[in-house]
Amino acid sequence: MNHASLHLDTQYHVGPIDRRIFSGFLEHLGRAIYEGVYDPDNPISDECGFRRDVLEVLHPLRMPLVRYPGGNFVSCYNWKDGIGPRDQRPAHPDYAWRSIESNQFGTDEFMTWCKGLATDPMLAVNLGTAGTAEAAQLLEYCNLAGGTYWSDLRARHGHPEPYGVKLWCLGNEMDGPWQAGHVPAEIYAQRAEQAAVVMRGMDSSIETIVCGSSGRDMKTYLQWDRVVLEYCWEVVDYISAHRYSENYRDDSAWFLAEGVEIDRTIEDYKALLNYVRGVKKSDKHVYLSFDEWNVWYRARSGDAVDGHWARAPHLLEEHYNLEDALVCAQYLAGFIRHADVVKIACLAQIVNVIAPILTRADGLLLQSIYYPFALFSRHAVGNALTPVIAGPTYHAGERGDVAVLDAAASYDEASGAVAAFLVNRSQEEELSVSIKLVDRPFSQVLSVDVLGGGNVKDANTWEHPHRVTSARGSASLDEFGVVHVRMTAPGLAIVRAKVGR
């Protein structure tokens, strides 16, 4: 058995964890909306057409925000097609996913659905084939109290109270040649700055997110981001980062070290943000919105991404296993460790499309990645402690020697609870972890949640829906106030302990 230690200090932290890092993403793509969250002809659905079972299992994820309506979809989307009487809404082709969009679910339905989930909307505007005028009209429709054309139209549609949307994405992945309306960074920066100025002029309470790079593999990575930030610095609050992890090579040792690359991406942005702030001689801070992240590589080509002009085709329906869940846990741990710069993060996506939930007409399936998200969202409260790890390493292929233990931690002063989020990357050896609080001892183990063990390729299926689920674990407290936990190989353990005096 391997042995590792985790040293923490309640005074040694990077600041409070922003709960918005546990947000989600819903796009008009495949069956994410139709047959996913919205299925009005299904007896499982409520009077609004929303799937009751989907809402029920989304509630425990406690998502503060849901980003909508895209994604690549938004860059050809006319939001006006999705409002008003449904029998008068036009169907249109969707350029991004070669599908037919019926527009039966639009802005008002999304806002009503958010209310049922107790989450806040995070809206993206079309800066690909549309621009400032359309973005400003959507903000007027959503946020102005009344007395103007679009706000009065919202009231006539049955929604007299403004929605008060606070977070606005200024386009999506505009650095990508695949994006409708893709332009060089200099031109996008002008579009984004113009839209932000007008939108903030109409509602000074909003926050805006400018498009960053679509991934570290982009040729313009960080150069694009620098140009955009330098141009838009004074009118934006966040820059977006996107990353999808893959294991095409089927090398689990390499894949389970994905946290190394996640950290590197965040640290790249932290350095860039500090650089631009210095160049601008600015007292203002701009933060990171990691608003698309997940594992995605199996359903990424051919018919899996081509809708063949069908309505609600089966697209991007990734099936997840244990190693995917452990990689997702490392994303969340990375966001916690970098709480000083990562303020928003959105799991992409939430239902059917690269999602923790799959539906069929008579029910749903929770995939492996559902469980780490639910556990982190429940237990990561307070300040993000800085973890100091001592322990063995293993060889992770091209990534070299990597620590067997990946760890993050939080401390909630109000409850006196420390939560340690631990991933054992080893596929062969169990890991004994000692968790020591340097500035005071632990007085009590409050809870232990575990996931893992067995084959990294284990996955939940309709026939066997509980192969990969979280369970209650155990940990001990020694006479010196040190917590000891034994982890499966590979596995996730979340240990909560009370801080003593």
- Which of 27, 101, 134, 173 does the annotation list as catalytic? 173
Half-sphere exposure of 137 (CA within 13 A, CB side): 13
CA distance 96 to 77: 10
- Helices (H) then strands (E): counts for the chain: 10, 27
Answer for the pair 71, 28: CB distance below 8 angstroms, yes or no: yes
Answer for the pair 216, 261: CB distance below 8 angstroms, yes or no: yes
- Which of 27, 35, 140, 292 does the annotation list as catalytic? 292
Angle between helices 107-117 and 132-143 (to 10 degrees): 50
How remote is the C-alpha of 463 from its chain's centroid? 28
Answer for the pair 169, 240: CB distance below 8 angstroms, yes or no: yes
H-state helical runs in 45-184: 52-58, 107-117, 132-143, 149-156
Written as six digits, the tokens of 306 are 């081509």
CA distance 250 to 444: 41
φ/ψ region of 498 (left if φ > 0, alpha if ψ in -120 to 50, else beta) reads beta
CA dihedral 60, 62, 67, 73 (to 10 degrees): -10
Q: Cβ contacts of residue 159 below 8 Å, gap of 6+?
A: 108, 111
CA distance 49 to 171: 28
Answer for the pair 368, 459: CB distance below 8 angstroms, yes or no: yes
Written as six digits, the tokens of 422 are 């631990």
Q: Cβ contacts of residue 361 below 8 Å, gap of 6+?
A: 35, 42
Which residue is associated with the tokens 């009077």? 47
292 catalytic per annotation: yes
Beta strand spans in 266-399 (E): 287-295, 310-311, 342-348, 357-360, 363-366, 383-385, 388-390, 393-395
In this structure, how many other beta carbons lie within 10 angstroms of the beta carbon of residue 499?
21
398 catalytic per annotation: no
Residues marked as catalytic: 173, 292
